[in-house]
């Protein structure tokens, strides 16, 4: 009987020792994820439109044509600095921040569009074309910074590659515009 009690005691001590060792070990826990800031919504009826109307073949960049629009911005997250991104194809042969306007009937384009924050005529900040959200901090043209609702004014300026002929026909351009607080 003493042997049985002694075996039971040894078994009991081993179990207690095992439980104690298991609870004393530190276990590393890793937690990962991505914090995303949702973009704001830009309230427009169907699309952003800058109608330049009819442009003469004699058009030059020295006497530019501007079109200006103001849009309502609604943001769920509106803390930090406001940034605007316009992404689209650059006009070949022009500076990289000129959005290409494609001739609907085909052919090489000689015209594109530059974008500005606020009013370009009053030296509004130029919007650099491209996907990097940190390129275009909004410094003008926004009515209420760090507010859930505000108005954003954007000006488009027609650009022509010097020495290239503007072909007759309709032209269109498309880009993606994103407004966020970062």
Tens digits of per-residue pLDDT, 26-49? Answer: 788 888 888 888 889 988 755 677
Mean pLDDT of the chain: 84
Chain centroid, CA 137 distance in Å: 11
Q: Is the pLDDT reported for residue 6 higher than 60? A: no
**How many residues are given for the chain?**
182
Q: 71: Cβ–Cβ under 8 A, 6 or more apart, which residues? A: 42, 43, 44, 48, 151, 152, 153, 154
Tens digits of per-residue pLDDT, 88-112? Answer: 999 999 999 999 999 999 888 999 9
Quick one: what percent of the chain has pLDDT higher than 90?
44
pLDDT score for 62: 92
Tell me what the mean pLDDT of segment 149-163 comes to: 93
What predicted TM-score, i.e. pTM, was given to this entire model? 0.75
Q: Which residue has the higher pLDDT, 48 or 4?
A: 48
Are 158 and 65 within 8 A, CB to CB?
Answer: yes
pLDDT grade for 4, boundaries at 50, 70 and 90: very low
> Which CATH number among 3.40.1360.10, 3.40.50.1170, 2.60.40.1090, 3.20.20.220 corresponds to the domain 62-181?
2.60.40.1090
118/177 Cα distance (integer angstroms) = 15
pLDDT score for 10: 60
Instruction: Give the residue ranges of DSSP H helices in the chain.
Output: 2-24
Tens digits of per-residue pLDDT, 110-148? Answer: 999 999 999 876 666 889 998 787 889 999 999 999 999
In the numeric block, which tokens belong to residue 113?
């569009």
pLDDT grade for 164, boundaries at 50, 70 and 90: very high
Strands 102-103, 171-172: parallel, antiparallel or unpaired by DSSP? Answer: antiparallel
Q: What angle do CA 70, 72, 74 make, to 5 degrees?
A: 155
């Amino acid at each position: 009987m003493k042997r049985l009690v002694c075996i039971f005691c040894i078994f009991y001590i081993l179990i207690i020792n095992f439980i104690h060792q298991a609870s004393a070990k530190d276990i590393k826990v890793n937690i990962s994820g991505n914090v995303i800031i949702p973009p704001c919504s830009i309230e427009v009826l169907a699309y952003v439109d800058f109608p330049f109307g009819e442009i003469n073949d004699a058009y030059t960049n020295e006497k530019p044509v501007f079109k200006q629009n103001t849009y309502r911005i609604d943001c769920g997250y509106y803390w930090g600095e406001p940034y605007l991104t316009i992404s689209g194809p650059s006009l070949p042969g022009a500076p990289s921040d000129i959005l290409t306007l494609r001739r609907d009937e085909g052919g090489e384009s000689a015209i594109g569009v530059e974008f500005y924050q606020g009013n370009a005529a009053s030296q509004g900040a130029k919007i650099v074309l491209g996907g990097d959200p940190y390129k275009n901090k909004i410094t003008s043209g926004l009515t209420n910074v760090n507010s859930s609702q505000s108005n954003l004014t954007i000006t488009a300026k027609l650009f022509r590659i010097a020495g290239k002929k503007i072909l007759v026909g309709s032209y269109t351009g498309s880009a993606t515009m994103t407004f966020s607080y970062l």
